[in-house]
Amino acid sequence: MVKITKEKKKQLFKWLLKSRRLEEKLVDMMTRGEIPGWLHSMLGSEGTGVGVTASLETGDFINNTHRGRAIVITKGVPIKRFMLEVLGKKDGPCGGIAGEMHFADAEYNILGTQGLVGANIPLSVGVALACKIRETGQVVVSYFGDGAVDEGNFHESVNMASVWKLPIVFVVENNQWAQFTPQKETAAQPDIWRKGEAYNMTGKLVDGTDILEVYGAAVEAVAKARRGDGPSLLECRFTRWLGHYVGDPQKYRDPKEIEDARKIDPLAKFQEKLLAEKVLATELIEKMEQEIKTEIEEAVDFARNSPPTTVEQAFQNVYS
Amino acid sequence: MRELNYVRAINEALMEEMARDERVIIIGEDVGLSGGSFSATRGLFQRFGAKRVIDTPMSEAAIAGVATGMAMNGLIPVAEIMFMDFVTLAMDAIVNSAAKMRYAFGGQFKVPIVFIMQGGGGLSAGPHHSQSLEAWFCHTPGLKVVYPSTPYDVKGLLKSSIRDEDPVLFVEHKMLTVKSDVPEEDYTLPLGKAEVKRKGSDVTIVTWGQLFYKVASSAEKLAAEGIDVEVIDLRTLVPLDLETILSSVNKTGRLVIAHEAVKFGGFGGEIAASVMEAAFDSLDAPIKRVGCAFTPIPWGPEVEAAVLPQEDDIILAVKEIIE
């Protein structure tokens, strides 16, 4: 078992809280029509995004996903910097070309999101292969959802990574829904972690709403990858709170299932635990809430008042 | 200067670039131990080792995606897709990931990659080992598309493609034993520059890839009949060297575009339209196109020859706009 210090627990809580409050803000802004495009809410999944990303060192790589705000926050990207991209501003890390859905940030080794689920997996394997060839000591987390596991890219890529013993960890955020279809109806083997065995790598299932369980498993898998002992497949399971996208009426879902899912809150669970352990006090949580609120409000205001992506930028970077 | 055949010229380019820059890595099916399905990578594994010449599982999608990730992280992969027909499985990584990597992330990542594959027919290889699919990629912003005909061009252009910062779709053809003079010393040829391979005054033929050889022999036959053909070998399709085409058409007033790919929807249509837009007044006759029939490539030698463009088709197209 990985030993987790009080300081680390406090830090994990702060990232969790920050991810939640930012996501609530984004859902609100999306609902009011302020964000262009779509927003795929990550509410309820913060425990996996924070827990996995927190296991990495600064120089390690992870790809973002379309529900990846917890990854972005935990990797250390300032909210101000992220919001510039979300609102399509010229000074965003991608110049407002990628937006929230494809967000990449090379300065923080965040590899971005490809539009097709599963398309990121071979890219991450390639980044890991380069780490191994160049002997950089870095580890890559390839992060994707349960839907991506049904893509050929998953199977081809994890096989290669295992054959070559690459420094990579495959993390599946299994929220039980691939867009509008339940995962268990499309997967012959819904236990994704069991697929590890088919590729001769460790497969492990964790409760995606238990941040300490996620973090502990991720720390072990990352250490194994860094030692040169090859990849692992980590399934973090929970149930999606909202629809596929913000505004999805979810007519395909039993309201009871949604209600039950929302009763299992990774943030509330962790808060209760840390209060009981006296790692946190109510006053400290209130202080964190206030700081986070101020940071988010300032970041949103800053981004709102920043200049949009220029037409000139739309014609740059097609070629070098 | 010594003569070298087409596949040995490819091999020499790879050998020299790998020796020059340790970031250059070959990755693909059978590229290592066996020396490649077409022996293009012969000797590389023995010289540079398994770390730089990487045999993969039969996983074209992952080969292209992994190569893209390697390029994002400081390497220069040459990803072999074997037959061009197999690129269908790698389309997402090439078209959606590699081609858009620099653009979609605001220039944060560059992906210098060469996706190398063999196109073209003529070997009785049937419908899944004979296609010329270059037009699909010319339609994708972010990719460069190169399809050289001669050993001299293939060596110089492959070296330039490896040194280029953008992803390059590099097509080699099936006439692996065709020879030309190839310098032993290091040289590169610029991407985006066509070459006038035969000077002439009556009609311009624009071509590329292995059909160049049929165009060249057709030009000699036409010369015997008093028709003086200028032959432009495009060499690079994207970026397109429209300038060289236009200056030739301005001189001859007549244009035939001949490619081995299916004529309907082929890249010849783009060239024809571009010339019409830029130099309509220079044209003394309608533009003609020669290409493969709108059929898959059949296996039997006689029927394969019937659907692929031949000398007779090229000669007929020229004569139709000369008279």
pLDDT tens-digit readout, A194-228: 999 999 999 999 999 999 999 999 999 999 999 99
**CATH superfamily membership of B3-181:** Thiamin diphosphate (ThDP)-binding fold, Pyr/PP domains (3.40.50.970)
Distance CA B142, CA A163 (A): 32
Residue A202's DSSP bridge partners are: A232
Closest CA to A175 of A110, A243, A124, A231: A243
Closest CA to A83 of A295, A290, A317, A241: A295
Residue A71, H or E segment: helix A69-74
How far is the alpha carbon of B158 from chain A, nearest alpha carbon, in Å? 18
pLDDT of the residue at B323? 75
Helices of type H across chain B: 6-20, 44-48, 60-72, 91, 99-104, 134-138, 151-163, 211-224, 242-252, 267-279, 301-307, 311-322
Q: Which residues does chain B have with pLDDT short of 70?
A: none
| Partners of residue B70 in chain A, C-beta under 8 Å | 126-127, 129-130, 133
Please judge whether A125 and B66 are an interchain contact, meaning their C-beta atoms are less than 8 angstroms apart. yes
Please judge whether B62 and A318 are an interchain contact, meaning their C-beta atoms are less than 8 angstroms apart. no
| Residues A252 and A2: beta-carbon distance below 8 Å | no
| Partners of residue B144 in chain A, C-beta under 8 Å | 319
The minimal CB distance from B106 to the residues A61, A94, A319 is found for: A94
Contact partners, residue B74, CB within 8 Å, separation at least 6: A130, A134, B23
- Tell whether the torsion through CA atoms of B212, B214, B215 and B217 is positive or negative: positive
| Residues B212 and B149: beta-carbon distance below 8 Å | yes
Strands (E), A175-291: 177-178, 181-182, 202-207, 232-237
The minimal CB distance from B142 to the residues A96, A153, A318 is found for: A318
What would the pLDDT profile of A116-134 be if each residue is shown by its tens digit?
999 999 999 999 999 999 9
Grouping H, G, I as helix, E, B as strand and the rest as coil, residue A31 is helix
pLDDT of the residue at B128? 97
Sequence letter at residue A264: I
Distances (CA, A) of A319 to A154, A312, B170: 29, 14, 16
A160 touches chain B (CB under 8 A): yes
pLDDT of the residue at A2? 84
Contact partners, residue A311, CB within 8 Å, separation at least 6: none
pLDDT of the residue at A22? 98
Question: Which residues of B are catalytically annotated?
Answer: 129
Q: How large is the greatest C-alpha to C-alpha distance in chain A, in angstroms? A: 56
| Partners of residue B108 in chain A, C-beta under 8 Å | 93-94, 104-106
Distance CA B195, CA B136 (A): 23
The mean pLDDT value for A32-52 works out to 95
Please judge whether B69 and A153 are an interchain contact, meaning their C-beta atoms are less than 8 angstroms apart. no
| Partners of residue A134 in chain B, C-beta under 8 Å | 73-75
Whether complex ipTM tops 0.90 = yes
Q: Do domains B3-181 and B195-322 have the same CATH topology?
A: yes
| Partners of residue A61 in chain B, C-beta under 8 Å | 73
CATH 3.40.50.970 given to domain A6-300: yes
Disruptive mutation site among B18, B26, B105 for chain A (greatest number of A CBs within 10 Å):
B105
Res. A1: pLDDT tops 90: no
CA B17 to chain centre: 19
The chain B residues in contact with chain A (CB within 8 A) are 25, 51-52, 56-57, 59, 61-62, 64-75, 77, 92-93, 96-97, 102-110, 141-142, 144, 164-166
Distance CA A231, CA A159 (A): 10
How far is the alpha carbon of A116 from chain B, nearest alpha carbon, in Å? 8
Question: Between A and B, how many residue pairs show a Cβ–Cβ distance under 8 A?
Answer: 140
Domain ranges of chain B: 3-181, 195-322
How far is the alpha carbon of B103 from chain A, nearest alpha carbon, in Å? 5
Closest CA to B212 of B154, B135, B137: B154
| Residues A199 and A170: beta-carbon distance below 8 Å | no
- Tell whether the torsion through CA atoms of B270, B271, B274 and B275 is positive or negative: negative
Virtual CA dihedral for B79, A227, A59, A200, nearest 10 degrees?
A: 50
Which class is domain B195-322? alpha beta
The minimal CB distance from A133 to the residues B25, B56, B102 is found for: B25
The minimal CB distance from B106 to the residues A95, A134, A320 is found for: A95
Residue B116, H or E segment: strand B114-118
| Partners of residue B141 in chain A, C-beta under 8 Å | 318
Distance CA A43, CA A98 (A): 22
pLDDT of the residue at B48? 98
On average, the pLDDT of chain A sits at: 97
**Residue B187, CA atoms < 13 Å, CB-side half-sphere:** 13
| Residues A159 and A201: beta-carbon distance below 8 Å | no
Distance CA A237, CA A226 (A): 25
Closest CA to A92 of A145, A20, A36, A138: A36
| Residues B102 and B110: beta-carbon distance below 8 Å | yes
